[in-house]
Structure 1
Amino acid sequence: MKLEKEFVLREIAGDYVIIPVGKTVIEFNGLITVNEVGVSIWNMLQNEVTFDQIVQGILNEYEVEESVAREDIREFLDKLIDGGILTEDKENGEE
């Protein structure tokens, strides 16, 4: 998985948001609000990473059941994919 467009993570009044920068502002109208887990995932996505590596990172950082982590991570990543922010390579061990 890798980020495709220019986006930055910012903390605004105690909330974390992912916002577009540069020419991406024209293509992506809006922002994405994320929680602390979303921030952790976003930070992992700064490097090319697989779904399983993200799951393992979250399991190492938070007390959560693996099945719950996988479902929540998939939902978050799907939002990023739907927004054109993230692409994934199905051949690299990802679901």
Structure 2
Amino acid sequence: MKQKKGFNLRNVCGEQIIVAEGKENIDFSNIISMNESSAYLWQKLEGKEFSVEDMAKLLTEEYEVDEATALNDCKELATLWREAEIIEG
């Protein structure tokens, strides 16, 4: 998987959101709000190819969460990101 170009994490009024930038994303009308851990993952994965396992490893290194929980949470998050069309692959 990889983040699609033109989607950037921004802090807007204290909330972390994904903002579409560039003319290829001009019709983007959804606002994607990120919690602390999903924003952390988005920043760490920027410009890189990654897997759900890579995401889970980052979570276990940064937060007190076991590997199985992190993996399940990352599978769910990757599905949400795919549905929002902010990642590809």
TM value normalised by structure 2: 0.86
Name the Cα RMSD after superposition: 1.4
| Structure 1 residue 4, shift from structure 2 partner | 2.1
Deviation string, structure 1 residues 12-43 (Cα, Å, up to 9, x no partner):
122100111112031x2111001110111101
| Structure 1 residue 77, shift from structure 2 partner | 1.2
Extract structure 1 runs of 4+ deviating beyond 6 A: none
Provide the residue aligned with 1:6 in structure 2. 6
SS at match of 1:30: coil
Identity in percent: 30
- Find out whether 1:17 has 2:35 as its counterpart: no
Unaligned 5+ runs, structure 1: 89-95
How many pairs are equivalent?
87
Provide the residue aligned with 2:34 in structure 1. 34
Contact map agreement 1:5 1:84 (CA 8 A) in 2 = no
SS at match of 1:9: strand
| Structure 1 residue 79, shift from structure 2 partner | 1.2
